[in-house]
Amino acid sequence: MHRLQSLANRYLAAGVFKRHPSPLSIKALQVPCCVQAIRLKTQGSIEESRLKRFSTAEATVDARENGKVREKVLTMETLNPYVKAVEYAVRGPIVIKAGEIEQELQEGKKKPFTEVIRANIGDAHAMGQQPITFLRQVVALCTWPELMDSPAFPEDAKLRAQRILQGCGGQSLGSYSASQGVECIRKDVAKYVAQRDQGVPTSWDNIFLTTGASDGIMNILKLLVSGEGPSRTGVMIPIPQYPLYSAAISELGAVQVNYYLDENNCWALDIDELHRAYHKAKQYCIPRVLCIINPGNPTGQVQSRKCIEDVLQFAYEEKLFVMSDEVYQDNIYSPDCQFYSFKKVLYDLGPQYFKSVELVSFHSTSKGYTGECGFRGGYMEVINLDPDVKAQLLKLLSVRLCPPVTGQAAMDVIVNPPQKDEPSYPQFLKEKSAVLSTLAEKARLTEQLLNEVPGIQCNPVQGAMYAFPRIFIPPRAVDEAKALGMTPDMLYCLRLLEETGICVVPGSGFGQKEGTYHFRMTILPSTEKLKLLLEKVQGFHIRFLEEYGAPEEPSV
């Protein structure tokens, strides 16, 4: 307990604790009076030193009003309360602590491990995945057109780059594009969507290029959120969810409406649960938006066609605006699963649905087989948006001028890759296949090794880039975590990081059913490093159970 109180002191500044810790945690966090006195003395001397640096009487007057140091305009008391409500677990306290440990290792401090393995975020290139050659060739040519004369670049890459540059102002990637994106790239996206969905009508005027999928999601939510009190907009999101959604809902002052995925059924979406969540929410808000992540993040499931049909019929009946996050559509690993776009299924339901349900779908350069997170490229397709509202969306997007044009170029290559009759096709196909087959193997490996550990249950990783295993945490550990003001899975993940160097994210950051505990980990590390990671998790969990008590068979 004393060691954990020491941990608590170190993590206080990182925001690990709840806003209202228990009396036990307050006691554990008390600072001796002598330390407080030293702090006050130090703060005073720093302030005096700072004031002495002012070189004019006017500056001193500016710094002091009535003999007091001028108060800041922006403080935690005056800060926008919606901003304070925002939380983003993927880059939260665990990750901050991981950075501190990495620094300590660089400084030569001894640890029970030699490196921190970051499995907290789906950043493929940071995990060692190599870029797709053709994509980088096209972007390089767009960035430095003088390379067009180089024989090192294939002709199909040069043709792609020339077409993109012709659509840019001054034929330069450094110019602003239209707010909706470069026209020829939007046309390529529309063609890609039509081919993917086997000929479903697609208009390039409904394509908006975005700064990653996150930018599009945020802007659509801005259009949808309105009202006050019981008339506030309710946004239905899956639990577990990607924290972008809860953060955006908090920032915009909307109401988060949770619907729970069925862990016992491989995280499937249950239509009865949708009805339950919707009708309960109507008591305190107006549910207007239904968000779906397919394939799932953090859960890695791929929804069936029947499930998607049920969801769209539900949205039609209850007049809900559908937001379909499909950034992992290329990441399908289970042979029993297939990606179905919400647009395709909506079209197949018939004109009654296809011409009335408002749907926006999102895609990104950051995932799939390319993993080009840093380009911040993406697109969204809007369907059945009111023309006047569409004009307002364009106005909103025009405020930030345009998405990064390099990201737009990268998005173009993803939707317009080399074709069979082009010189770059063999290498492109080899690289793409290698990435996806390796991810499929790592998905199977992760499920297998985690399920070998007593007290850990992991559903099949059917798609996306993550596992979301359920972990048994003994009651004694739960009690200690609560005494320290932590969630039990936060305590677990902090201990895992401190003892093994493995950085994963507590399930509480994504949402989970009461009384269950999980963590999210990415499957992106190299196969060798992933095996090492899983072996360390296995050893840690067994030691954790020995310390706090062995599990009974958990029931979801």
Give the span between the Cα atoms of 437 and 84, in whole angstroms. Answer: 42
Span 1-52, pLDDT tens digits = 444 554 555 444 444 444 444 433 333 333 333 333 323 333 444 344 443 4
pLDDT of residue 39: 34
Lowest-confidence region among 35-39, 347-351, 445-449: 35-39
Place of tokens 């749907």: 359
The proportion of the chain whose per-residue pLDDT surpasses 70, expressed as a percent, equals 83
Cβ(291)–Cβ(236) below 8 Å: yes
Task: Note the pLDDT of residue 101.
Answer: 85
Amino acid at 85: A
pLDDT at 197: 94
Say if residue 175's pLDDT is above 90: no
Q: How far is CA 24 from CA 8, 202, 218, 434, 480, in A?
A: 12, 60, 39, 53, 10
37-40, long-range: CB < 8 A, 24+ apart:
none
- Alpha helix positions (H), 463-525: 475-483, 488-500
Query: What's the pLDDT score for residue 14?
Result: 43
Torsion angle, CA of 324/325/330/334, rounded to 10 degrees? -80
The answer to whether 287 touches 280, Cβ cutoff 8 Å, is no
Is pLDDT at 461 greater than 90 in this prediction?
yes
Tokens of 244: 């972008």
64 - beta bridge partners? 69
The C-alpha R_g of the chain, in whole angstroms, comes to: 26
Which DSSP category does 550 fall into?
A: P
How far apart, in whole angstroms, are the C-alpha atoms of residue 58 and residue 495?
53
Question: Tell me, what's the pLDDT at 65?
Answer: 53
pLDDT of 405-439, one tens digit each?
999 999 999 999 999 999 999 999 999 999 999 99
pLDDT tens digits, one per residue of 95-153: 888 888 888 888 888 888 888 888 888 888 988 889 999 999 999 999 999 999 999 99
What mean pLDDT, rounded, does the chain reach?
Answer: 84
Any idea what DSSP says for residue 304?
-
pLDDT, greater one: 72 or 82: 72
CA–CA separation, 404 and 397 (whole Å): 13
> In this structure, what are the phi and psi dihedrals at residue 378, rounded to the nearest 5 degrees?
-175, 175
Q: Please count the other Cβ atoms lying within 10 Å of the Cβ belonging to residue 538.
A: 16
Q: pLDDT digit string (tens) for 229-259?
A: 888 999 999 999 888 888 889 888 899 999 9
d(CA 475, CA 481): 10
Q: What is the dihedral of CA 234, 239, 245, 250, to 10 degrees?
A: 60
Strands (E), 9-95: 64-65, 68-69
SS3 category, 17: coil
